[in-house]
C-alpha cells in the first residue's frame, strides 16, 4: 500500500505542477502589450514607410501611396486599432488629450483646408515631432512647433 500511495502522490504532484506551469505560461502569453509598447511599434512601423508618396484618396490597405488618414488607419490597424477612413472621423475616436500631455502614439489633428475643421492627421512621435504624410515629401516627420503646423493644430486623441 505504501508504494501505491507514494506513486499516486508523485503522479498527482507532477500533474499539478504541469497544470500550474502551463496555466502560468498561458497567463504570461495572454498579457496585452502596454500602450507604450504599442505606440513604439506603431511609430516604428510608420517609419518604415518614410518617403512613400502622398496621394489624396489613396485606398485603404495600400502601401504604395498614402494620404494622411489611410496612413494612420493602416499602421494602427496592424496593431489591432481600427480607425475610420477619414481624419475628421478619426478625430472622434478615443479621448481628447491636451497638447501639453501628448504621448507617443497619440493621433494629432490639423486644419489644412477649411480653417478650424479637421482635415489632416498624423501620429505624435515624441519630442514635438509628428509622423504623417502630405505633399511632395510623402511620409515624413515634421516639427509640430514650426509656425505652419503650430498655427494649424486643432486637437489630439488617445486611442491606445
Q: Which CATH number characterizes residue 148's domain?
A: 3.90.1720.10
Is beta strand 153-158 parallel, antiparallel or unpaired with respect to 95-96?
Answer: antiparallel
Report the number of distinct structural domains present in the chain: 2
Could you tell me the pLDDT band of residue 1, with boundaries at 50, 70 and 90?
low
Could you list the residue range(s) of the whole structural domain that residue 118 is in? 33-158
> Are residues 14 and 48 located together in one domain of the fold?
no
Residue 86 main-chain phi, psi, to 5 deg: -110, 150
Q: Tens digit of pLDDT for each residue in 147-158?
A: 999 999 999 999
Q: Point out the catalytic residue in the list 75, 104, 110, 120.
A: 120
Q: What is the mean predicted confidence (pLDDT) over 108-137? A: 95
The reply to whether 68 belongs to the active site is: yes
> Are residues 50 and 25 located together in one domain of the fold?
no
> Are residues 6 and 77 located together in one domain of the fold?
no
Q: Point out the catalytic residue in the list 38, 104, 129, 132.
A: 132
The reply to whether 132 belongs to the active site is: yes
> Are residues 52 and 128 located together in one domain of the fold?
yes
Q: What pLDDT score does 132 carry?
A: 98
pLDDT at 124 over 50: yes
> Are residues 10 and 46 located together in one domain of the fold?
no
137: exposed, middle or buried (Cβ count in 10 Å: 0-12, 13-18, 19+): middle
> Are residues 60 and 110 located together in one domain of the fold?
yes
> Are residues 23 and 51 located together in one domain of the fold?
no
Q: What's the gap between Cα 61 and its chain centre? A: 15
> Are residues 11 and 85 located together in one domain of the fold?
no
Q: What pLDDT score does 25 carry?
A: 42
> Are residues 94 and 110 located together in one domain of the fold?
yes
> Are residues 67 and 140 located together in one domain of the fold?
yes
Q: Tens digit of pLDDT for each residue in 62-113?
A: 999 999 999 999 999 999 999 999 999 999 999 999 999 999 999 999 999 8
Residue 143: strand pairing partners: 129
Q: Tens digit of pLDDT for each residue in 8-44?
A: 455 445 444 444 444 444 444 444 679 889 999 999 9
Length of the chain: 160
> Are residues 55 and 133 located together in one domain of the fold?
yes
Distances (CA, A) of 72 to 3, 79, 120, 130, 132: 66, 11, 10, 12, 8
Q: Cell numbers for 153, please give them.
A: 493644430
The reply to whether 5 belongs to the active site is: no
Q: Point out the catalytic residue in the list 68, 75, 81, 159.
A: 68
> Are residues 143 and 111 located together in one domain of the fold?
yes
Amino acid at each position: 500500500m505504501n508504494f501505491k500511495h507514494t506513486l499516486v502522490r508523485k503522479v498527482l504532484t507532477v500533474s499539478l505542477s504541469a497544470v500550474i506551469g502551463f496555466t502560468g505560461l498561458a497567463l504570461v502569453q495572454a498579457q496585452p502589450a502596454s500602450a507604450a509598447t504599442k505606440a513604439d511599434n506603431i511609430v516604428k512601423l510608420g517609419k518604415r514607410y518614410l518617403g512613400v508618396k502622398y496621394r489624396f484618396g489613396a485606398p485603404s490597405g495600400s502601401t504604395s501611396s498614402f494620404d494622411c488618414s489611410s496612413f494612420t488607419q493602416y499602421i494602427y490597424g496592424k496593431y489591432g486599432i481600427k480607425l475610420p477612413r477619414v481624419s475628421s472621423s478619426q478625430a472622434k475616436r478615443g479621448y481628447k488629450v491636451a497638447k501639453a500631455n501628448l504621448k507617443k502614439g497619440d493621433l494629432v489633428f490639423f486644419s489644412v483646408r477649411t480653417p478650424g475643421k479637421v482635415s489632416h492627421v498624423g501620429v505624435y512621435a515624441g519630442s514635438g515631432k509628428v509622423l504623417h504624410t502630405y505633399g511632395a515629401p510623402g511620409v515624413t516627420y515634421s516639427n509640430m512647433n514650426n509656425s505652419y503646423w503650430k498655427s494649424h493644430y486643432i486637437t489630439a486623441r488617445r486611442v491606445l
